């Protein structure tokens, strides 16, 4: 079973060139379909191999062919996620395959709180979130990480981007907008004087394909997000002897949907407005 999301034409602010986005986000399961002729050919080759080929060579081929096909299918699924923080090349795919060994086993468990970090508590404790109605969307990928269903609407994306731009314009001494440093694509908000320097002070970025976003949050706020169903942790947000390219507080926020957009817009503005006033840093 495959899930398809086709985006609309992207509308950019006045003065920027309009870009048409027509991307299909799909993940295909590994499957091999043989018609009668192909099935007969495989049977004949197996019989001939058992009689004329070395046993170890035959065993190697029986294992090698499906493994190659499995890797090929997985590589195509990686490409179908679209542009992201990893180059869409065999080298980029090999790098992600290595990182898969260390991914979070449970993206719905919050990271532990560290008393040596500032601030000592998250900002959402003062303003708890409502529960997100409906089931969680299906999510796939590492870098990029994307939703496979429940995409956000284009008007919601434009309103969210406009709100972030307005925040940057209202506090230019604290914030600036640019292309994402972590994602390498897409619109992002940065702190001009970050204390948490991972990602060059990137606060959040929005994905143009599914309209979801990634944010750098306090562990307490991540717990609130997970419990209320608004998002999930990035699978590469681990902490260990292998250094991850993303911070441990990196969290995916699901794409806004219809009447629930207003609540998400208030949350994003609240998080961003406090990201400098209440920096997430470690005490010396």
Is 137 part of a structural domain of the chain?
yes
Average pLDDT over residues 126-154: 86
* Domains of the chain: total: 1
Higher per-residue confidence, 69 vs 120: 69
Is 219 part of a structural domain of the chain?
yes
Is 113 part of a structural domain of the chain?
yes
Is 58 part of a structural domain of the chain?
no
Is 37 part of a structural domain of the chain?
no
In this structure, which long-range contacts are made by residues 5-12, counting pairs with CB atoms below 8 Å and at least 24 apart in sequence? 5/147, 5/148, 5/149, 5/151, 5/209, 5/210, 7/151, 7/154, 7/208, 7/209, 7/210, 8/154, 9/154, 10/154, 10/208, 11/154, 11/158
Is 52 part of a structural domain of the chain?
no
Average pLDDT over residues 263-270: 56
pLDDT at 234 over 90: yes
Is 274 part of a structural domain of the chain?
yes
Average pLDDT over residues 33-59: 86
What's the pLDDT at 267?
55
The pLDDT tens digits for 160-179 are 888 888 888 888 888 889 88
What's the pLDDT at 132?
85
Choose the most confident range, by mean pLDDT, from 10-14, 115-119, 211-215: 211-215
pLDDT at 75 over 90: yes
Domain that holds residue 178: 101-282
pLDDT at 276 over 60: no
What's the pLDDT at 277?
42
Task: Output Rg (C-alpha) for the chain, integer angstroms.
Answer: 23
The pLDDT tens digits for 182-233 are 888 888 888 887 666 666 788 889 888 888 989 888 888 889 889 989 899 9
Is 260 part of a structural domain of the chain?
yes
């Amino acid at each position: 079973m495959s899930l398809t999301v086709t985006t609309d034409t992207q509308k950019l602010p006045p003065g920027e060139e309009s870009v048409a986005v027509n991307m299909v986000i799909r993940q295909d399961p590994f499957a091999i379909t043989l018609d009668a002729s192909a099935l007969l050919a495989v049977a004949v080759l197996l019989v001939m191999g058992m009689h004329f080929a070395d046993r170890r060579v035959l065993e190697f081929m029986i294992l090698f062919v499906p493994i190659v096909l499995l890797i090929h299918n997985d590589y195509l699924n990686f490409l179908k996620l679209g542009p992201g923080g990893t180059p869409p090349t065999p080298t980029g795919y090999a790098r992600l395959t290595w990182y898969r060994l260390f991914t979070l086993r449970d993206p719905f468990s919050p990271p532990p709180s560290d008393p040596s970090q500032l601030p000592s508590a998250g900002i959402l404790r003062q303003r708890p979130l409502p529960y997100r109605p409906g089931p969680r969307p299906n999510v796939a990928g590492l870098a990029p990480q994307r939703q496979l269903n429940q995409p956000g609407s284009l008007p919601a994306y434009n309103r969210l981007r406009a709100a972030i731009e307005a925040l940057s314009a209202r506090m230019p001494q604290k914030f600036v907008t640019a292309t994402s440093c972590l994602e390498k694509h897409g619109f992002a908000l940065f702190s001009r004087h970050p204390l948490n320097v991972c990602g060059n002070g990137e606060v959040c970025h929005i994905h143009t394909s599914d309209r979801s976003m990634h944010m750098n949050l306090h562990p307490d706020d991540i717990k609130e997000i997970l419990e209320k169903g608004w998002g999930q942790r990035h699978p590469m947000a681990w902490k260990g002897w292998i250094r991850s390219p993303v911070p441990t507080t990196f969290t995916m926020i699901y794409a806004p949907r219809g009447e629930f957009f207003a609540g998400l817009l208030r949350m994003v503005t609240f998080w961003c407005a406090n990201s400098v006033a209440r920096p997430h840093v470690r005490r010396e």
